[in-house]
Amino acid sequence: MGAPLVPIDVEPETGRWITDSLPMLYVPVHFFVNNHLAIEKELGVERYARLLYDAGYTSAWTWCEHEAEVHDLGGVAVFEHYMSRLSQRGWGRFEILDIDLAGATASVAVLHSVFHRPDEADTRSGDYMFTGWFAGAMDQILAASGQNTRTRAEQVFHEGQTEAPYGLFRVHPV
């Protein structure tokens, strides 16, 4: 993949990292994953997944709306840009397997997820965190093109589950 093409500016006064005029955090993977696992343990996977879905949906919508405006993107190009930037930021490799805006569907493969742990691959994965991201991105793109359709994303399986080489997510209309 090579070095990411993510522009980073640092505010001299605050030290805050900025990319495309949006504030960013840069943290070690273990820091994020350990926090994620602690919250998951306290709330339970199902409850935590519901909370992350809604928060991720809203965040993806906001990010895609902002990036579409900043980079003058529309339609599938917004989704492609989002998957590229997620990949460049270390969440995993996000590959669009198919996308159909007219049908409000998409399939996304996630390889090398930040949550993938080979020793626990058959029993758990934090990849469910990504589901709301895909629906939020799709819905923002659909709304920007004048469509009223809303979608839902679901994780079909995660990387390593029954030896799957990647995690699979599907977006479909509700």
Per-residue pLDDT at 90? 87
Homologous superfamily of domain range 9-173? Trafficking protein particle complex subunit 3 (3.30.1380.20)
- Portion of the chain with pLDDT greater than 70, in percent: 95
DSSP state of 172: E
Say which range, 20-34, 100-114, 137-151, has the weakest mean pLDDT.
20-34
Q: Which amino acid is at 28?
A: P
Q: What is the DSSP letter of 127?
A: G
Q: Tell me how many degrees the CA angle 104-105-108 measures, rounded to the nearest 5.
A: 140
What would the pLDDT profile of 9-32 be if each residue is shown by its tens digit?
999 999 999 998 999 888 888 899
| pTM of the complete model | 0.90
Give the relative orientation of helices 131-144 and 45-71 as an angle to the nearest 10 degrees: 40
Question: How far is residue 143 CA from its own chain's centroid?
Answer: 19
One-letter-per-residue 3-state SS of 104-117: CEEEEEEECCCCCC
Tell me the domain boundaries of the chain. Answer: 9-173
